[in-house]
Amino acid sequence: MEFLSLLAGGFAVVFQFVPVDIWPGDGSLIVPLPVNILLCLVGTLIGTLIGVLPGIGPIATIAMLLPITYKLDPTGALIMLAGIYYGAQYGGSTTAILVNMPGEATSVVTTLDGYQMARQGRGGRALAIAAIGSFIAGCFATLLIAALAKPLSAWALQFWQADYVSLMIMGLVFAVALARGSVLKALAMISLGLVLASVGTDVDSVDTRLTFGFVELADGIEFAALAMGAVGFAEILRNLENPERRDIVEGKVTGLMPTRDDLRQSAGPIARGTLIGSILGILPGNGAVLGPFASYTIEKRLAKDPSRFGRGAIEGVAGPESANNAGAQTSFIPMLTLGIPPNAVMAIMIGAMTIHGIVPGPQIVEKQPQLFWGMIASMWVGNLMLLVINLPLIGLWVRLLKVPYRLLFPAILLFCCIGVYSVSNQPFEVLMTGAFGLAGYFLIKQGFEPAPMLIAFVLGKLLEENLRQAMTISRGTWNVFYERPLSLTFLIIAAVLLTLTMLPSIRKKREEAFAE
């Protein structure tokens, strides 16, 4: 139970008062402010806002806000950026329930029953149960991160480069297994991500690779440009294809308090959703996105009367909403303890840490306890804030959602352009984002999902770095990969999982599960 006292130390960091030079910056007005808690509030509010807005996600927002965090201390900056991510999970459900449109990729499932509940005049209760479920999931996930942090990072400190290589290969296989759609296409997208990752200057020889003569590509492809293009812009283009059918259920958002019956019906789904979401979130690959789907499928299987699903079953909101918030938070575990990002948002968080001079990896827990435990404690505080502030703000979100998409998306596009420009103040990045958007849109239309590509892009660089070091240390022999028990274990898991995924019978089942 040592982690509880460490967590308490984290709370002290979150609530600490820092003297701030407010204005005009010459030290004439210095006020002690609880900076971290304010940043947490700002982060969760921005997160909810972008969660509500379809087409702008945490990746774009964090990329946009990165330059602003230069002025903050690292702990505060990361507390705010983390708040954006889990705040978006709360906001995404609002749009899903009231407008039948997922505000975030993770709230797709919530549209099924949440919107039906809203149409039946139970929108308030759907929103409330989504928030309560998310809060419970958030509390559990926070404790889980706290409990796992020390043992996992201590374990990871014993990793050799070869173990990291095998772990990342396992991660790539997970990304294929957890990806939606065809296995072959996921494998192709993983390879594409790896190829894109190798663009840029080779560290050892200073040769440029795959830059096609563009000086701007010498530092490699900017992750924000790739992510915002292939996911953000492509999603906008996708949304524009379907003329909008948005019926906001308004005026019916009354009765926010769930009834005793609602709570009784939701207790099981929330508990199961939290557990499933937490486990899937830790897995590298698309865990946080997959959680809600898995939860929905399970609830439907367990239900006495599955036909209620799709017609406003509260379990179909409670389970998936708990799962997505749990997954969003537990995805911090591999990032913080191993330095390996399990999804695109965590990759950009690693970027944020690097900017502040923090090297992500197992040593953070020991060397920067203030930052580490402060960030974890802030997640619990942030979840509490979201529970309290979310419901009163619903009127505001409804008004925002009434803005027609034809006005909304040009604004979102402009935000993204400014965001990607601000990453490095390079106009070239904006053009690259456009190109990635077009390519991503084309590939999505042929059934290729961009998510595995992004994960592979992130892991590709780490993979090459560690593989080359491992090979240098082992003097060019591959033995180390199967002689190290840990590395061998990871490789065996990867091989078994890949074989299972490729088996025709399982492949079929898997595709059916995703189709649901």
- Residue ranges binding other proteins (CB under 8 A): 67-68, 182, 184-185, 187-188, 190-192, 194-195, 197-198, 202, 204-205, 207, 209-210, 212, 233, 236-237, 240-241, 243, 405-407, 409-411, 413-415, 417-418, 421-422, 425, 427-431, 433-434, 437-438, 441-443, 445-448, 460, 464, 467-468, 471-472, 474-476
Residue (83 or 114) nearer to other proteins, CB: 83
As a whole number of Å, the CA-based R_g of the chain is: 22
| Cα dist from 178 to 52, 160, 222, 461, 507, whole Å | 26, 27, 25, 21, 12
Provide, rounded to whole angstroms, the least separation between the CB of residue 341 and other proteins.
19
| Cα dist from 484 to 122, 293, 364, 481, whole Å | 57, 36, 25, 6
CA distance 404 to 219: 40
Q: Where are the alpha helices (DSSP H) in 54-160?
A: 58-65, 74-99, 110-117, 123-156
Compute the CA torsion angle 114, 115, 116, 119 (nearest 10 deg): 130
Residue (19 or 447) nearer to other proteins, CB: 447
Residue (67 or 268) nearer to other proteins, CB: 67
What single-letter DSSP state applies at residue 258? P
Provide, rounded to whole angstroms, the least separation between the CB of residue 258 and other proteins.
37
Do 325 and 104 form a contact (C-beta atoms < 8 A)?
A: no
Residue (277 or 460) nearer to other proteins, CB: 460
Provide, rounded to whole angstroms, the least separation between the CB of residue 233 and other proteins.
7
Do 88 and 47 form a contact (C-beta atoms < 8 A)?
A: yes
DSSP string of 15-57?
H--EEEE-SSSSSSSEEEE-HHHHHHHHHHHHHHHHHHSTT--
| Cα dist from 203 to 220, 409, 446, whole Å | 11, 40, 36
Residue (252 or 461) nearer to other proteins, CB: 461
Provide, rounded to whole angstroms, the least separation between the CB of residue 194 and other proteins.
4
Residue (77 or 118) nearer to other proteins, CB: 77
Provide, rounded to whole angstroms, the least separation between the CB of residue 171 and other proteins.
15
Do 146 and 6 form a contact (C-beta atoms < 8 A)?
A: yes
CA distance 42 to 120: 34
Do 184 and 509 form a contact (C-beta atoms < 8 A)?
A: no
Provide, rounded to whole angstroms, the least separation between the CB of residue 149 and other proteins.
32
Q: Where are the alpha helices (DSSP H) in 211-314?
A: 223-227, 234-241, 260-282, 287-302
Residue (16 or 182) nearer to other proteins, CB: 182
Residue (246 or 468) nearer to other proteins, CB: 468
CA distance 21 to 109: 46
Residue (208 or 363) nearer to other proteins, CB: 208
Prior bond of 24 cis (ω within 30°): yes
Provide, rounded to whole angstroms, the least separation between the CB of residue 425 and other proteins.
6
Do 115 and 123 form a contact (C-beta atoms < 8 A)?
A: no
Q: Which of 219, 257, 268 is nearest to 127 (CA)?
A: 257
Provide, rounded to whole angstroms, the least separation between the CB of residue 302 and other proteins.
32
Residues shown for the chain: 516
Do 201 and 218 form a contact (C-beta atoms < 8 A)?
A: yes
CA distance 95 to 100: 7
Number of continuous H segments (helices) and E segments (strands) in the chain:
24, 4
Provide, rounded to whole angstroms, the least separation between the CB of residue 379 and other proteins.
25
Do 340 and 168 form a contact (C-beta atoms < 8 A)?
A: yes
Residue (307 or 479) nearer to other proteins, CB: 479
Residue (232 or 342) nearer to other proteins, CB: 232
Provide, rounded to whole angstroms, the least separation between the CB of residue 418 and other proteins.
6
Residue (244 or 366) nearer to other proteins, CB: 244
Provide, rounded to whole angstroms, the least separation between the CB of residue 267 and other proteins.
40
What single-letter DSSP state applies at residue 233? I
Provide, rounded to whole angstroms, the least separation between the CB of residue 154 and other proteins.
31
